[in-house]
Amino acid sequence: MSTIAKKIVVLKTSNRWDLLTHLGLIFAVTGFIFVSFFLVFLPWFTNHGETVTVPDLQNMTLDQAESYLSARGMSYAIKDSTYSKRHKPLTVLMQTPEPGEKIKQNRKIYLVITPRVPPKIAMPRLLEMNLDNAKMLIQNLDLEVGRVKYVPDLAQNVVLEQRFNGKEVEVGTPIPKGSKIDLVVGDGLGNSEFGMPNLVGLSLDEAEMVVKGSDLVLGSVLYDYNSDKEIGTVVRQFPDSRAGRLKKGAKIFGSDDDRPEIKVRAGQPVDIWVAGNPAPKPKKKVEPKKKKVMKDGKEVEVEVEDEEYDNINIRNMDEIKEMIKKKKGDPDKELKEKPKRDLNDFELEEDR
């Protein structure tokens, strides 16, 4: 049978004061160790109280940021990457913590950078779209509008071809974000050229029919107030039908008119000048006139506005006056309100 030797160390105290003294020493040593750990060892181990200011790394390349932090005893870690068409690949976009904050020297700075290779997207369908809408779609997909080339086609400002790297690209083809897309757009004009028809001397309606029948577009219609031609007659056009001056003695558009024809293409706008003024004469503000009328057997005054000639064309008004003057005399008297005649002034058919 084995025996277990047990040694019990007993702190013998001769009195109560010795016990208190020993306990005090134990607490003092424990407190010293505790304070030393938290106030000396732990701050030394964690660099407590030693902070640095976070530098601004945004818009730096990753190599520049790495060199900058390494020289100052700091480090970084890549948190994420996101595409930006305004920045080059491997450029710092964001950082955590923010610039200017105080951090411990051994703390890492987390970076968000642009990827080394831009992500790819499917080529959108731009064909048959309006140019403005196509540009908007290109920009919304983080692509860039490249060269816009106009070619003869009646589909004005409509995309006819979409190109990438100088070649036509099919819808759905993967292309990198930030790529330039070239567009071929119709200029609204036809392929073939023909002589500009002569519109001078035609009425406005006839000129419109000729313009539309020639696959041209009627542009501005302006009015010549001083022309002696009949109202509504075309007195000028642009482009002209012939180039240069007519030689002396030759008749316009006659067999001896050897001026070269001006060539136009379908869809081209044509401006014309027409004799006359289509706009109504502005209504004049006149003081109301007072007129005496019979009402309920009594003579009373009422106000009457003079609106003569308000809606008559300026040039037409002159012609009307001239016509009245030739036929009846003073037009002002003729156009004034005539007095009402009594029924007694008329003879019934039976009384004749």
Q: What is the pLDDT of residues 73-90, one digit of tens each?
A: 888 999 999 998 888 999
Does the residue 344 lie in any domain?
Answer: no
Does 226 share its domain with 170?
Answer: no
Q: Is 234 exposed, middle or buried (0-12, 13-18, 19+ CB in 10 A)?
A: buried
Q: Given this model, what pLDDT does residue 193 score?
A: 83
**Per-residue pLDDT averaged across 126-131, rounded?**
94
- Specify the higher pLDDT residue, 318 or 195: 195
Does 69 share its domain with 142?
Answer: no
Does 133 share its domain with 60?
Answer: no
Does the residue 331 lie in any domain?
Answer: yes
Does 176 share its domain with 225?
Answer: no
Cα separation, 207 vs 222, in Å, equals 13
Does 199 share its domain with 270?
Answer: yes
> Which of residues 163, 186, 209 is at a domain's end?
186
Answer yes or no: is pLDDT of 72 > 50.
yes
Cα separation, 140 vs 134, in Å, equals 10
Cα separation, 205 vs 190, in Å, equals 24
Note whether 302 and 317 are within 8 A (CB): no
Domain range for 231: 194-275
Does the residue 34 lie in any domain?
Answer: no
Q: What is the pLDDT of residues 131-172, one digit of tens each?
A: 999 999 999 999 999 999 998 888 889 999 999 999 999 999
Does the residue 38 lie in any domain?
Answer: no
The enclosing domain of 173 has a CATH number of 3.30.10.20
Does the residue 141 lie in any domain?
Answer: yes
Does 180 share its domain with 202?
Answer: no
> Which of residues 113, 145, 166 is at a domain's end?
113
Does 71 share its domain with 109?
Answer: yes
Cα separation, 257 vs 243, in Å, equals 11
Does the residue 12 lie in any domain?
Answer: no
Answer yes or no: is pLDDT of 291 > 90.
no
Answer yes or no: is pLDDT of 324 > 60.
no
- Highest-pLDDT range among 140-144, 287-291, 332-336: 140-144
Percent of the chain with pLDDT over 70: 68
Does the residue 321 lie in any domain?
Answer: yes
Answer yes or no: is pLDDT of 334 > 60.
no
Does 242 share its domain with 301?
Answer: no
Does 64 share its domain with 101?
Answer: yes
Note whether 114 and 83 are within 8 A (CB): yes
Does the residue 345 lie in any domain?
Answer: no
Span of 123-127, 168-172, 279-283, 339-343 with lowest mean pLDDT: 339-343
Does 294 share its domain with 258?
Answer: no
Which residues are CB-neighbours of 39 under 8 A, at least 6 positions away?
none
DSSP 253-286: TSTT--PPBPEEETT-EEEEEEES--SBPPPP--
Question: What's the domain count of the chain?
Answer: 4
Q: What is the CA radius of gyration of the chain?
A: 49
Does 248 share its domain with 208?
Answer: yes
Which pTM value belongs to this model? Answer: 0.48
Does 80 share its domain with 98?
Answer: yes
